[in-house]
A and B are shown apart, each in its own frame.
Chain A
Amino acid sequence: MKSKIIASLLLGTALSVASASFAAAQDKIVKIGVLSDQSGLYADLGGPGSTLAAQMAVEDSGLTAKGWKIDVISGDHQNKPDVGTAIARQWFDVDKADVIADVPNSGVALAVNNVVKEKNGVYINSGAATSDLSNAQCSPNTVHWTYDTYMLAHSTGQALVKAGGDSWFFLTADYAFGAALERDTTAVITANGGKVVGGVKHPLNTSDFSSFLLQAQSSKAKIIGLANAGGDTTNSIKQAAEFGIVKGGQKLAALLLFITDVKAIGLETAQGLNFTETFYWDLNDQTRAFSKKFAARMKNGAPPTMVQAGVYSGLIHYFKALDALGSNPHDGIKVVEKMKSMPTDDPLFGKGEIQPNGRTIHSAYLFEVKKPSESKAPWDFYKLIGTVPGDQAFTPLAQSTCALLKK
């Protein structure tokens, strides 16, 4: 009798060990946290649209049909680094999240970057601009997907300096993003023989820019560089028109402009602005097809912004890496290494690669805002005026200050 009990106990233990190791080999459970500004000034360029993009990536990855169980959760960082890191920690510790995606606002993005590294998760950043994510602050857990300040400076900035805009005055959002964008653009201006004659730092989310614009006007700079984003940029542009700044011969450089911003400014005021994005819904048949599906599911029928498209594509690539690994190792560094070893190729951003510093390389497009008479449909806003190949648009590896490259 006793031996029978021992035997059955042994058998039970053996079975449970076997099933545990079976589970480890076949762990196909993934949890994705989309961390964004859900209600503030960046909510329309990321926010609920980014969560939708993540859900669409899960559906389009085809992994659920292969037995994977993938959950998407979302959170609101309110543009506060402390709120962002608290949510990230909770997601890793309590919700057992594997990935944090999106995270616009460079200040929050850099803070979350450290948490993801500490917890060995995967960080696919689409929304933040600071080029520090693939330079001084780079991490083996991070992929910076969509765009960065270096790219913005080198496409829009360079084009304007070469067209004769050799003196600049900056209107800069007073936090990590604005500082990075001003720094990277200043480097481009001086390298091309121009100079920066002055600048003013304004608080994030300012509604009245008239004082700052008057200072820019009296500086007599040829170009007024807007190193800000979202509502700050749209307000700057609208009010600059009001104060006759463009008519007075000064030119505005919207270093970072999203399609939702153009909508908010209105084509009447925005027409003729030059800027750079890495995605536009009307680029080709594939982007149009995706955008149509996306817009149908958005509450206000808006097409995806560059940031939302980046959330989709970054996750699609992540799922490809998981599929190649066969199961989820719950090891951020391992998954990101796999992602870096595979060339990127998706319908929205085309072919590219992820460099060892975590920077995704793909083409950047120089756009001009259409005149109201040229716009044939809702959201038909951009005219493509140039394409910068990926290897010229982003930081050359030789210049990257990322510590991962010095192994």
Chain B
Amino acid sequence: MQALYAQLLVGLINGSFYALLSLGLAVIFGMLNIINFAHGALYMMGAFCAYFLLNVMGIGYWPALIIAPIVVGIFGMILERTMLQWLSGLDHLYGLLLTFGLALIIQGVFQNYFGSSGLPYSIPDELKGGMNLGFMYLPIYRGWVVIFSLIVCLGTWYLIERTRLGANLRAATENPTLVRAFGINVPRMITLTYGLGVGLAALAGVLSAPINQVRPLMGENVIIVVFAVVVIGGMGSIMGSIITGFALGVIEGLTKYFYPEASNTVVFVLMVLVLLVKPTGLTGRAA
């Protein structure tokens, strides 16, 4: 039983990464109608950004939590301005192909310079060590990841669903022409939204740098799972992807305990089941 609690908690930790990443994807899909396949590569860039800040400029983990998402977010906004904006109104497939190509290029460039085995990034001193919870030894850093990503996820949800800014944003996706008539700069808002989604990916990258190694292909492994999370949660649903992210982390953790060989596939089995029963995802609305 003790072991089970521990697995549940470990699942929650992984779930926080899934939630942060799928949240960014959901924001981008919900507001821009783009299936952002470059999300994994941008997550990787966030981690590399933290690595460079530390090793080149001597800037530590805490400032990196803010600087890296901004830097990568600006990079994302440049991508949106120069390429993605021309795809609005076209079929989803074009956005998917473009971002997929971008992901391959970004990963290829990083791999060319840094190889594939990864660079170390150590846990900040303040969060080293762990607590004995009785049923398991919880590294403080992992506990921090769960709490911090919960706050960020709920904050983003609040921003989009409960504030005036979010209301404008949602209105702009429903009817851009009308919103423009109220004097709101819709293209700029779309660019900033993409920057926000990308920033969330970069933030997840910084958070994961001390746990996983910083390596060019770190996003490739995780992005497929995250897409499954978004599909299960319902494309474009903010709360849906947060909840599904955490829930799937826990389910995956349990699978690792009961039948480890299947831990890589369980998410996709669930995805197939959900698609068969409710094609719009658990919380999605019919298109």
Chain B: which residue is nearest A204 at the CB level?
B264
Q: Which of B115, B142, B222 contacts A300 (CB 8 A)?
A: B115
Contact residues, A263-322 vs B (CB, 8 A):
263-266, 268-269, 299-300, 302
- Kindly identify which residue among A211, A212, A264 contacts B117, using a CB–CB cutoff of 8 Å: A264
Q: Mark B205-227, 1 if CB is under 8 A from A, else 0.
A: 00000011101011001100000
**Contact A242:B257 (CB < 8 A) given known A205-B221, A211-B10, A266-B122:** no
Q: Is A261 an interface residue (CB 8 A)?
A: yes
Is the CB of B148 closer than 8 A to any CB of chain A?
no
**Contact residues, A211-228 vs B (CB, 8 A):** 211-212, 214-215, 217-218
Docked pose: A215 CA to B256 CA in angstroms:
10
Q: How many whole Å from A54's CB to the nearest CB in chain B?
A: 18
Are the CB atoms of B122 and A263 closer together than 8 Å?
no
B257 to chain A minimum Cβ distance, whole angstroms, is: 6
Q: Is the CB of B139 within 8 A of A231?
A: no
Is the CB–CB distance between B263 and A202 below 8 Å?
Answer: yes
Q: Which of A226-248 contact B (CB under 8 A)?
A: 230-231, 234-235, 238-239, 242-244, 248
Question: Within the complex, what minimum Cβ distance (angstroms) separates A270 from chain B?
Answer: 9
| Min CB–CB distance A391 → chain B (angstroms) | 33
Report the Cα distance A208→B14, complex, angstroms.
8
- The residues of B that contact A203 with a CB separation of less than 8 Å are 260-261, 263-264
Chain A contacts of B256 at CB under 8 A?
211-212
Chain A residues within an 8 Å CB radius of B264: 203, 206
Given contacts A174-B261, A207-B222, A242-B141, contact A234 B117 (CB under 8 A): yes
User: B240 near A: Cβ within 8 Å?
Assistant: no
Q: Are B112 and A234 in contact (CB under 8 A)?
A: no
Of chain B, the residue at the smallest CB distance from A211 is: B256
Q: Which residues of B contact A263 (CB under 8 A)?
A: 117
Residues of A contacting B3 in the complex (Cβ-Cβ under 8 angstroms): 214-215, 218
CB of A211 within 8 A of CB of B257, answer yes
Is A44 on the interface with B (CB-CB < 8 A)? yes
Contact B117 A214 (CB under 8 A): no
Given A211-B257, A238-B213 in contact, is the A231-B10 Cβ separation under 8 Å? no
For B112, what are the chain A residues with a Cβ–Cβ distance below 8 Å? 299
Q: How far is the CB of B4 from chain A (nearest CB, A)?
A: 10
Question: Who on chain A is nearest to B221 by CB?
Answer: A207
Confirm or deny: B120 has a beta carbon within 8 angstroms of a beta carbon on chain A: yes
* 11 interchain pairs, CB-CB under 8 A: A40-B217, A203-B260, A206-B264, A207-B222, A208-B212, A210-B14, A211-B11, A211-B253, A234-B118, A264-B120, A300-B114
